[in-house]
Structure 1
């Protein structure tokens, strides 16, 4: 038998052969990043871009595929880097064969994000070359080294963050911290102190004055938008939530509360509202105030009243976490409604309110769940009808209640006090128009406004004392409050107003169809037939 020599011929994959013929050079891009917006780092950014243009151009086997750069961005979170995301997308689209970057610390300081990106590119057949460490992620045994180095980079970033936080807290403690972004109404002076920015301070005074005169945050925001008042930090429009934050900010009384937010200790760093996790620092009389302390005190009293209406306990925690908690009653069985979130994570995810009895046993109560937005729409319908027809509803009701009173002398005094409250409120509104046109000095306006507010408050206290002793006090006082609220919020609502609901509704009764009845603070019940 003749032994023949075996011949082995390697047959290259067709795809690889075609690729070698069509694209003999690797399309290589560079990714560069600097972590701050300082002048020094901007220079570093410029030189990195120039360096990698030359670096890629010198290689005969590489073809320049562009520079992806994030300037003034942190490396701790990938999602905050626009060009990094664009580079990853271009890699998926087959536009890039290789990525070159300076080091692991320039690529990402978050180990999880770094390894996730490297593995994703590796599955696409795209390597990342780290110049400083001389590592190509496509080479054998390359996975362990990037993991170790990225972990070291993450620890370094966390240590740097901890040192930075320590320095800032030290400035908090000795009162030397300088606000980078002053509150609306203020700007930084030459030495970093807060000084009043008069054009914005005028808007702040308007917000506080209108709120003290009875307007809600929704109506105030709507008025600012209607008058084309420039928004805070170029937002699209004024929101009632922004107005609420302004009203609660002690900065406008001349005080400063530091560390209202804090960042988490480990990567990825997240900003959180400080609810007692870390110390806060309060500096009294830190700068010139825009409003008086009396105005601030009156605002706090109004806010405290609303917190009580929302069900806050002594520790400041919500007993009623949501607007409708403990307020909805089933018309069929008398049980309270509970909030439910259903179809979580699905396109039809929604919030609904269900009768507790129906949830336990459908045979004992047939009333089905009602969606959260339906109740809000029903409130809108009810409120807009009331605002449109309140003269035909509330005034006759008020007269009927007054006729049931027994003390005519007290009734006469109550009427006089109500008239006085209306006159003082009108004086405040006239005063607002006068100061807005620049006819009187702002200092005189604030002095007069404060005097009016004190007089209104004292008059209301006297009226309330008489109401307590004269029968039907809850119904009459509630009706008078509703009239005051409507006078200050006379416009038709376009969106649900949380504060308005809290101030005006005592209970909600839901029946079949569904039939939704709102018992107002004066015990008057108004029914809305949803869908009809």
Structure 2
């Protein structure tokens, strides 16, 4: 009975890739919980259960689920991942998806998830725990790399405006001041003799253009100052990252580090994530093909008593 009210095949629908092969040698099948795209073909074959009875059964199950104690879905707290990832294949944002069974959290290309769109993307979804795991493994690689600290400091240094750019900024300010003088003269002449509104609009547009250049420079300079502080904090925290064996165990994810250092990430079909760090450096976290969620969490080392 449970199968008849949970499997859409009984109401005449066919769900393509509801299950998929995980082992081509043994032919082992696994339920698809977001790893691969699914497609529903309505009225594919004669129904055993009428559409009305099927829909009514779904409504009853939903009502029972909502009435169960503790059945309310807790708001997802991995906010650090939102608006960060994009798909390497189609460029669409990678969005959060929760499986209907087990409540497992995935991150998947929005185009691949929205099956009704004309555009398609076949990139599978990735478990949130896998993204967390590969990021922590990447942090460990940074920690063990003797040249990493010098390299990332140099990358940030190259983002800071240099002397040549500062001279260009002074020239921009001077040019803008001259345009203001020109604007005043043009407006005054117009009041006396009836000036050309087109000329005033043109001068104003030039002033706005130069002002935006100044704003961009000042924002960049401010961001670099904040990045310098964040970098020193990060390097100090990096020293405290617990060492572990990524192929055998996991350690607790550090959302504070992720949000401080990651600007954006591009997820590839093989699980690789190319991160753009806020310090002007790009690094790649290698996808783990093993079932990361089955790895045991390594215990934190106990602090020695003084």
TM-score by length of 1: 0.26
Give the number of the structure whose alpha-carbon radius of gyration is greater: 1
| Greater relative CO, 1 or 2 (CA 8 Å, sep 6+) | 2
TM-score by length of 2: 0.43
